Amino acid sequence: MIDLSHISRFFQVGGETVHALDDVSIRIGAGEYSAVMGPSGSGKSTLLNILGLLDRPTSGTYLLDGTDTTSLDANALARVRGERVGFIFQTFHLVSRLTALENVELPMVLASRAPAERRARAKELLQRVGLADRVQHRPDQLSGGQRQRVAIARAMIMRPAVLLADEPTGNLDSASGKDVLDALERLNTEGLTLIVVTHDQLVGDRAPRRIRMLDGKVLDDVRR
Amino acid sequence: MRTNDLFAFATQSLLRARMRSSMMLLAMAIGVAAVVMLTALGEGARRYVTAEFSSLGTNLIIVLPGKTETGGLNPALLGGDIPRDLTIADAAALLRIPTVAQAAPIIVGNATISSGSRERDTLLMGATHSLFEVRNWGVKQGEILPNIAWEQTGSFCVIGGNIARELFPQQSAVGQWLRVGDRRFRIVGVMNSEGRSVGFDVQELVVVPVATAQAIYNRTSLFRILVKARSAQDIQRTRTDIVEALKARHQGVEDVTVITQDALLSTFSDLFTKLTLALAAIAAISLLVAGVLVMNVMLVAVSQRTAEIGLLKALGARPAQITRLFLMEAVLLAFLGSLIGLGIGELVTWAARQVLPFEAVAPLWAVIFGIVVAIACGLIFGILPARRAARLDPVLALAGKL
């Protein structure tokens, strides 16, 4: 489903060229659960940004569901991003002035879906992540774990093909971190492709496939 | 994104940043209020002047000695030189024109008047019984000038209320004697306060028979002749007839200027409309300043909300959508601000109407102009921040590295 071939991403920092990704080729099948691991600066975040179509590779091709994304324009990329990719961020990135429900609805609002449809779906998703009684709460009235579960509900509302989680437990204590991972893994068992980027060994060890990165290259790619 | 959602999203983010929003609302409100207030002032002045000229009397035509080639307002009206005489006989001749209802020859000069030990300088007008009809002047005590032949002199006068009060403070002025130069006049009437006039205050006026005034000033030429046409439809025809009649009497030389009240009115009305336009333009500058403020505050808002913009992009927002979100905020602010400004402006002009002698009302075009310019400013000055937001790199925006 995801097919990266010979992806490179260079940045110009000062006069120097930094190889954030250097000739990376990875294939990830539908429904797979992978952890991308590595120290900071290893290129794992850049990889995630490219997978999420937030960033474009300097060279190489990226096929998502058989579509070559490198030839898409900004509007088409935004559309694919909205419909096919769900994001989970370390810092949650909830809109603080909106309620949990409104935050979850947001992708559907941007996609011009009908209010009744998106409200029903957002409520259903909040219920599935165990926040049925927090629908009208604002992010600052929720705990870290609850916020991340709101973010998961938001990531799922457009029924994406792949969920990209960037250090999803990085800002959480171990108990709520486990809740969040449980919720993500439950979605994976329902058929969702899940990619978790982390430098936390314990988090990475939960995934059946582990891609370790160093200096912009894939160090090893192990399936359990 | 649906329009409703766009609206709701913009409203929520404006409500969130109350301080910022209220500053921009205030700036816009002041701009629109300035437009409303200044144009109301201009419009009020126009109405006041128009009303003043209307009070000259209805269906009024003014005949001045001397000919000027330009149309509109004649400088002779404001006190120019008098090249050729108009006489009482000329005025009498105008009565033979069928559409002329009434004519009133006038002489105006300065005079020192006295009664006993009290003395003052004032304006002396030589006029006729018919003047009071032409100008709708009335008396509060006594009678108006008696209807004597125009060529006949008489030792009686009608005086303004102020003069009556100053010279005869403790008693009724009617029946008293008034000294003008070396002549004595019996006061037959005191003018009422209704009589308003452009150029002089009837309360400060002494009116004597026109032939007597000719004798006092030792001249036969008239200051002007006021003519009242029978109806508004007759005015243009009467005007032509007057010119022809006087030309015939003056050896075929067209040496008078005939002004209709309409021409006077439209001249002043035009003048004040232009003044109002100029005031509106000046007020619009404050809207422009408000627009620049909106731009700056929106730019700050964009840089404070980079993470949110990055998120929206990650959630599938197209660049055009981000642009629209921020433009919506700017336009919403401009619109709300202009409504508030309209309220303030109307309130202030209402208050002004209670104290000013004229009806200060902002014309509808100015109200619409103010709101439209405010929204246009919001749009134009909102574009730069909105586009900046739309162009943000999502990766850097999400990471808070901008």
Show me where the domains of chain B are located: 3-52+267-398, 85-254
| CB-based burial label for B235 (10 Å; 0-12, 13-18, 19+) | buried
Tell me which of B232 and B206 has the higher pLDDT.
Answer: B206
In this predicted structure, what is the pLDDT of residue B250? Answer: 85
Confidence at residue B116, expressed as pLDDT on a 0 to 100 scale: 85
The CA distance from B92 to B357, in Å, is: 39
Q: For B8-59, what is each residue's pLDDT tens digit?
A: 999 988 888 888 899 889 999 999 999 999 999 888 888 888 777 776 667 8
pLDDT tier at B301 (50, 70, 90 boundaries)? Answer: confident
**Contacts made by residues A120-123, CB under 8 angstroms, sequence distance 24+:** A121/A157, A122/A153, A122/A157
Question: Between chains, do A95 and B311 touch, taking CB under 8 Å as contact?
Answer: yes
Taking all residues of chain B, what is their mean pLDDT, rounded to a whole number? 86
Please give the structure tokens belonging to residue B1. Answer: 């994104």
Instruction: Supply the pLDDT for residue B78.
Output: 52
Question: Cβ contacts of residue B306 below 8 Å, gap of 6+?
Answer: B392, B396, B397, B400, B402
User: What's the CA gap between B85 and B173, in Å, rounded?
Assistant: 35
| Of A183, A44, A103, nearest in space to A194 by CA | A183
Q: In the numeric block, which tokens belong to residue B354?
A: 């209670």
Q: Is B46 on the interface with A (CB under 8 A)?
A: no
Q: Contact at 8 Å (CB) between B334 and B27?
A: no
DSSP summary character for residue B103: E
Q: To the nearest whole number, what is the mean pLDDT of chain A?
A: 93
> What pLDDT score was predicted for residue B193?
67
pLDDT, tens digit, 9 for 90 and up, residues B358-375: 788 888 998 999 999 999
pLDDT tens digits for B133-165?
A: 888 888 888 999 999 999 999 999 999 988 898
Residue B400: its pLDDT value, please? 75
For helices A100-110 and A144-156, angle between their N-to-C axes, nearest 10 degrees = 20
pLDDT recorded at residue A217? 93
Contact: B314, A87; criterion CB under 8 Å: yes
B320 Cβ neighbours under 8 A, 6+ residues apart: A75, B390
Closest residue to B314, CB basis, from A54, A79, A111: A54
How many C-beta neighbours within 10 Å does residue A138 have? 16
Q: What percent of chain B has pLDDT over 70?
A: 93
Write b or e for each residue in A28-46: b if 16 or more Cβ atoms lie within 10 A of its Cβ, otherwise e: beeebbbbbbbeeebbbbb
pLDDT confidence of residue B68: 60
> What global pTM score does this model have?
0.72
Cα–Cα distance measured from residue A20 to residue A199, given in angstroms and rounded to the nearest whole number? 16
A–B CB contacts, 8 A cutoff, strictly below: 67
Q: Is A85 exposed, middle or buried (0-12, 13-18, 19+ CB in 10 A)?
A: buried
Rounded distance between C-alpha atoms, residue B106 and residue B122, angstroms: 16
Kindly determine whether residue B313 and residue A54, on different chains, have CB atoms separated by under 8 Å.
yes
Which residues, other chains included, contact A125 with Cβ-Cβ below 8 Å and sequence gap of 6+?
Answer: A104, A153, A156, A157
Give the other-Cβ count within 10 Å of A112's Cβ.
13
Residue of B nearest to A104 (CA): B315
Tell me: pLDDT of B188 over 60: yes
Q: pLDDT tens across B382-401, in order?
A: 999 999 999 999 998 988 77
Say if residues B333 and B294 touch (Cβ distance below 8 Å): yes
Strands A59-64 and A2-13: antiparallel
B66 in Cβ contact with B245 (< 8 Å): no
Q: Which of A127-131, B208-212, B357-361 has the lowest mean pLDDT?
A: B357-361
Taking chain A, what is the end-to-end CA distance rounded to the nearest angstrom? 20
For the cut 90, the answer to whether the pLDDT of residue B69 exceeds it is: no
Percent of chain B with pLDDT over 90: 42
Non-local CB neighbours of B169 within 8 Å, separated by 6+ positions: none
pLDDT (average), residues B77-84: 52
Binary contact (A93, B1; C-beta < 8 A)? no
A193-198 sheet: strands from edge to edge:
A85-88, A162-166, A193-198, A33-37, A209-214, A217-223
Q: How far apart are CA B139 and CA B322, in angstroms?
A: 75
Tokens matching residue B216 = 């006092």
Q: If interface means Cβ-Cβ distance under 8 Å, which residues of chain A face chain B?
A: 49, 52, 54-55, 74-75, 78-79, 81-83, 87, 89, 93, 95-98, 106-107, 109-112, 115, 154, 158
- C-alpha neighbours within 13 Å on the C-beta side of residue B117: 0
Cα–Cα distance list, A136 to A101, B7, B344 (Å): 6, 20, 37
pLDDT at A222: 92
Measured between beta carbons, the chain B residues lying within 8 angstroms of A89 are 398
Band the pLDDT of A115: cuts 50, 70, 90. very high
Q: Quickly list DSSP for B147-207.
A: ---TT---SEEEE-HHHHHHHSTTS--TT-EEEETTEEEEEEEEE-TT---SSS-GGGEEE
3-state DSSP assignment of residue A19:
strand
Tell whether the model's pLDDT for residue A133 goes beyond 60. yes
Q: Which two tokens stand for residue B290?
A: 């408000």
- Exposed/middle/buried for A88, CB within 10 Å: 0-12, 13-18, 19+? buried
What are the angstrom distances between the C-alpha of B236 and each of B66, B135, B263? Answer: 20, 19, 11
- As to burial, measured by CB atoms within 10 angstroms (0-12 exposed, 13-18 middle, 19+ buried), residue B182 is exposed
**Spatial CB neighbours of B198, under 8 Å, sequence gap ≥ 6:** B52, B53, B55, B56
Structural domains of chain A ordered from first start: 2-93+161-223 (3.40.50.300)
User: pLDDT band at B199, cuts 50/70/90?
Assistant: low
Q: What is the pLDDT of residues B98-141, one digit of tens each?
A: 999 999 999 999 999 998 888 899 999 999 999 888 888 888 88
Mean pLDDT of A147-151: 95
Q: Which candidate in B315, B391, B396 is best for mutational testing of the A interface (most A CBs within 10 A)?
A: B315
B194, B59 Cβ separation under 8 angstroms: no
Model confidence over A39-50: pLDDT tens digits? 888 999 899 999
Looking at residue A175, its pLDDT comes to 92
Closest-CA residue to A35 (of A187, A213, A172): A213
- Position B82 scores a pLDDT of 46
Question: Is B319 in Cβ contact with A78 (below 8 Å)?
Answer: yes
Residue A9 tokens, joined: 């991403």
Over range B290-311, report the average pLDDT. 89
Structure confidence at residue A224 as a pLDDT band (50, 70, 90): confident
CA–CA gap between residue B172 and residue B157 (Å, rounded): 14
Tokens of B63: 């005949």
Query: B-chain residues within 8 Å CB-CB of A93?
Result: 307, 310-311, 314, 398
Distance separating alpha carbons of residues B396 and B402, to the nearest angstrom = 6
Instruction: Check CB contact of B394 with chain A, cutoff 8 Å.
Output: yes
Residue B314 predicted with pLDDT over 90:
yes
Reported confidence tier of residue B81, pLDDT bands at 50, 70, 90: very low
The residue whose two tokens read 């001045």 is: B64
